[in-house]
């Protein structure tokens, strides 16, 4: 076993199919990841993605019994102190901050997503974690119109869980450039409403330059417009998670990416705060 770091997000670090430990910048500590896409398949192909051998597609049906066994095993390892020893974690790093449904693709494409959510809630309850740690769904939000996904979102919210909904650019053209998403910004707005109506939702935004240029003025205006519309609705997001490139992309277009100046990011963060939203900035 190698030491966990914020740069090492290897989903195979524990030698399991679905479950892995990671030190998360945004969670500020130990996160227990649930990878519903062991086939490295996603319906998007973000230029900054760190998944090796990424392919277009959906998550396979999850073997609930195997996932349950792995999650119980890893939580027991953390509780006993074995996990901290194996991964050379400092005491403050060994505390569980969250269980996060994430992984090597879009997790809500999993055919039995609702059953996965039910099982995670059951095991979190067994370990007396509900109400003591966060439950996080990290999603690009593109499949919110599916009944299976909506059932999962509703139950995740009932468990006290939250969603981190990807919104990197504010125009359809900007999303096509960075996320290769094949989805329009109008649909993103509709899906955001579906999500915020069912559970606490944070907007997660990767601030990155493409071909040397930060997001265009049109993208920034559109992005702020989406946030403003949400703030004027009955279901407001919790805030915005702004973050930069922490680890190298493993996608063919990786060479096109670069950092955005810190001053540009700070200015965007301030404009978001002026809308009444909390902002957490990690560059």
SS (H, E, C) the chain: CCCCCCCCCCCCCCCCCCEEEEEECCCCEEEEEEECCCCCEECCCCCCCCCCCCEECCCCCCCHHHHHHHHHHHHHHHHHCHHHHHCCCCCCCCCEEEEEEECCCCHHHCCCHHHHHHHHHHHHHHCCCECCEEEEEEECCCCCCCHHHHHHHHHHHHCCCEEEEECCCCCHHHHHHHHCCCCCHHHHHHHHHHHHHHCEEEEEEECCEECCECCCHHHHHHHHHHHHHHHCCCCCCCEEEEECCCCCCCCCCHHHEECCCHHHHHHHHHHHHCCCCEEEEEC
What pLDDT does residue 2 have?
Answer: 60
Q: Is residue 5 predicted with pLDDT exceeding 60?
A: no
Q: How many domains does the chain have?
A: 1
Q: Which residue has the higher pLDDT, 276 or 3?
A: 276
CA distance 143 to 43: 10
Within a domain: residue 263? yes
Report which listed range, 13-22, 240-249, 254-263, is most confident: 254-263
Domain around 148: 19-282
pLDDT by residue (tens digit) across 88-131?
999 989 999 999 998 899 999 999 999 999 999 999 999 999 99
Tokens representing 281 are: 């900035």
Q: Is residue 53 part of a domain?
A: yes
> Does the pLDDT at position 24 exceed 90?
no
pLDDT-derived band at 29, boundaries 50, 70, 90: confident
Q: Which residue from 217, 219, 43 is spatially nearest to 227, judged by alpha carbons?
A: 219
3-class SS of residue 123: helix
Does 191 fall in a domain? Answer: yes
In a domain, 2, yes or no: no
- Does 59 fall in a domain? yes
pLDDT value, residue 26: 63
Can you give the CATH number for the domain in which 251 is found? 3.20.20.70
Q: What is the pLDDT of residue 9?
A: 44
**pLDDT number for residue 67:** 98
Q: Tokens 């810190």 appear where?
A: 262
Q: How far apart are CA 95 and CA 23, in angstroms?
A: 10
- Mean of pLDDT values over 26-43: 90
Domain assignment present for residue 1? The answer is no
Q: What is the Cα gyration radius of the chain?
A: 18
Whether residue 4 lies inside any domain: the answer is no
pLDDT at 229: 95
């Amino acid at each position: 076993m190698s030491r966990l770091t914020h740069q090492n997000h290897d989903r195979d670090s524990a030698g399991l199919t679905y479950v892995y430990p990671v030190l998360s910048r945004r969670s500020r500590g130990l996160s227990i990841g649930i990878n519903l896409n062991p086939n490295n398949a996603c319906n998007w192909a973000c230029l900054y993605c760190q998944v090796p051998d990424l392919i277009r597609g959906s998550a396979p049906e999850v073997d609930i019994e195997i996932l349950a066994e792995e999650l119980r095993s890893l939580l027991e390892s953390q509780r006993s102190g074995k996990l901290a020893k194996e991964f050379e974690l400092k005491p403050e790093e060994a505390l569980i901050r969250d269980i996060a449904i994430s992984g090597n693709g879009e997790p809500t494409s999993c055919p039995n997503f609702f059953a996965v959510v039910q099982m995670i809630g059951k095991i979190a309850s067994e370990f007396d974690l509900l109400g003591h740690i966060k439950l996080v769904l990290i999603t690009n939000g593109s499949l919110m119109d599916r009944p299976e996904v909506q059932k999962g979102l509703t139950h995740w919210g009932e468990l006290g869980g939250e969603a981190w909904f990807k919104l990197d650019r504010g125009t359809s053209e900007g999303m096509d450039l960075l996320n290769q998403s094949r989805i329009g910004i109008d649909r993103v707005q509709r899906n955001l409403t579906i999500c915020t109506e069912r559970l606490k939702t944070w907007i997660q935004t990767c601030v990155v330059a493409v071909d040397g240029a930060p997001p265009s003025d049109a993208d920034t205006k559109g992005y702020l417009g989406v946030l403003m519309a949400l703030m004027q609705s009955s279901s407001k997001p919790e805030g915005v998670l702004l973050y930069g490139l922490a680890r190298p992309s493993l996608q063919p277009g990786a060479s096109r990416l670069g950092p955005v100046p810190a001053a540009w990011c700070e200015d965007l963060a301030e404009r978001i705060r002026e809308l009444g939203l909390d902002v957490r900035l990690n560059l």
